[in-house]
Structure 1
């Protein structure tokens, strides 16, 4: 029951985000110049980071793109990531003391880089690379070379420095791709003896390998929820027809699909703070990643094409396809990634600005409901419209006066009441039994 309540609560938050355009606060799609690739975003969506295959950059709405140095991931490895409050960037840069690419961090306030070391070896100019940073900024994870042909997942903290997470298969490589809020849970991959790259979770340093229900290995983990209870990944595995997925200890693999095109492969690249909202993409394999289709997924609505969703919000996508979502803010309000023409995008869904005091005395009952919803408006608030909405935002009914509503014809499920009073909007969920 507690889990169900949490699911409904997060869905409500998500839907309220979706309906922000109804309060003169439009959904926003910002598309950067081609070649500016966005890979992560702060908890509230206000700061995004990425690279241009030469160096890293920070983006804010006020200042646009600010380049900060570092090196391109395509040669040195890694991803450009940002911590929760937007103060610290994790990326790879050349350590000036040894001229090797190393896992590093950039302090946005002080505008300074710090290299954090390696496992003592290197391969083709790379000693280590940064792939993720914890929301609290305490932990950076990635890959460190143990010899020229083998690498291990690594973890850096201020207290312990670089730690080797090792490999449970002798002579095989591992990598850390994701980390939860406080660094206690890390996600990535473990190479098996047969060459298959299997999804792995390290909880306080102890590795768990992920499998599908038939015990075939799951693909690598690419993202974790902040609470560390959910992982997301995909990209390989005929066991689930190459679908994107999310995983928890209690549920196992939950497929996110099916693919919009037969034969395409999917992966989950971002999760909200508790794992209820997921973003990712499906794409042809083999083939350019930017020719894929991005998606957004909730437990109630399933998979929704991200470009189609943007268009449904009356957003001008400028002819672009939101092909590769690569990051999702913890609050679920902002998605960043790459369009089909190689431009970074910020798809922002700011929270609805509801003036709660206007509706302090307003309510309805019963909830859950079987037949009739009854409304209480003791202060006589002037009501412009009353609407019943599906969880996808489609209008089912609309009334221009406040009246009791017979909902007996609705199918069992979750719905929303939306009431407009001037510029003020009241949105609450209700369950139809």
Structure 2
């Protein structure tokens, strides 16, 4: 806005020079908002905290940090790529999403409970054989998205609604977890 012998925010400003005048133009930086979305992980931003307001033109470095058991996949929205660290130039309001997926290490110590799945490949019903009581069953696709979840101690699961492809089944028992892969045909 204007101060001194002028007021308001009209631009351009017309002044009648009928005497000596002092006019000051007051500028404030344009503010841009950064919104970051992340499930199963978090994102750090430098400078300022995530979802902060930045002066126009500020270059912000974003770093994806996956939760335990997850891995970083990619950025979407106003940023793209699959490296854990990117920069965003705040030349407008920006929304960025960090995508994470489940890390399934077949030989991972966390997944030590043995069990069998049959038939494999499966068409409709897959059977679970374990020496322990199964408390939870979860099935993930190859992208790490959970597609089936059951808290019943089933010995078989109907997978007829799943698309053809590779899947991972994780079972939970009182002593831990086990993981096996299977093919839906």
TM range (shorter): 0.3 to 0.5
TM-score, normalised via structure 1 length: 0.23
Higher RCO (CA-CA < 8 Å; seq separation 6+): 2
Structure that is richer in strand per residue: 2
